[in-house]
């Protein structure tokens, strides 16, 4: 019995190593580096806006909903439709902002690598907020 449990544990561990758990779940530390591509326009300090809104607490927040930031009407409408920033919405938006919010004012180039996106999303999630 113990042997069987041991086997299952080892098999499970080997499986998660083989699939590269960090890449699947996103690596916040790596994401902090990827975030340099965003930092010209985004602060992660609460309430500090640049060209773009502060991304503190953006994970779990309704799109276009930070008080005091003047979003494009398109981003407001996206949020108004019920869109909340989570894994899927962020992934799609960062892969191609204009495919999700066609008239967004965010002119950043697409983040083409799925790993970069997963990492930066993990980083944003780690910042806390709501
Ligand atoms: C050239 C400046 C610029 C860069 C670079 C940029 N953004 Fe943005 N971002 C903006 C602007 C401006 C908005 C507001 C868009 C609107 O109102 O349509 C925005 C909006 C957002 C939003 C929605 C925020 C909310 O409160 O709804 C997220 C999420 C976001 N950006 C993430 C990122 C990430 C992650 C990166 C880096 C991969 C990045 N942005 C790079 C300018 C930029």
Give the predicted TM-score (pTM) of the model.
0.85
Superfamily of domain 24-126: Cytochrome c-like domain (1.10.760.10)
Q: Give exposure, 11-33, as e/b (b: 16+ Cβ within 10 Å).
A: eeeeeeeeeeebeeebbbebbbe
- In the structure, which protein residues have their CB atom closer than 6 angstroms to any atom of ligand 1? 37-38, 40-42, 51-53, 55, 58, 63-64, 66, 71-72, 74-75, 85, 90, 94, 104-108, 111, 120
Secondary structure of residue 33 in the 3-state scheme: helix
Sign of CA dihedral 64, 34, 130, 25: positive
What distance in angstroms lies between residue 83's CA and the mean position of ligand 1's atoms? 15
How does DSSP classify residue 58?
-
Compute, in degrees rounded to 10, the torsion defined by CA atoms 100, 102, 105, 106: 40
In the 8-state DSSP scheme, what is residue 39? Answer: T
pLDDT digits (tens, 9 = 90+) for 60-109: 999 999 999 999 999 999 999 999 999 999 999 999 999 999 999 999 99
The domain locations on the chain are 24-126
Give distance in angstroms: CA of 56 to centre of ligand 1: 12
Mean pLDDT score, 8-20: 47
């Amino acid at each position: 019995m113990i042997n069987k449990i041991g086997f299952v544990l080892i098999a499970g561990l080997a499986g998660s190593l083989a699939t590269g758990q960090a890449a699947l779940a996103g690596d916040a530390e790596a994401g902090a580096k990827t975030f340099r591509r965003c930092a010209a326009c985004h602060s992660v300090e609460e309430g500090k806006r640049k060209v773009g809104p502060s991304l503190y607490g953006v994970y779990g927040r309704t799109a276009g909903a930070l008080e005091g930031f003047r979003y494009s009407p398109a981003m407001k409408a996206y949020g108004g439709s019920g869109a909340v920033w989570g894994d899927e919405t962020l992934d799609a938006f960062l892969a191609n902002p204009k495919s999700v919010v066609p008239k967004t004012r965010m002119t950043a180039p697409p983040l083409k690598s799925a790993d970069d996106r997963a990492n930066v999303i993990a980083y944003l999630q780690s910042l806390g907020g709501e």
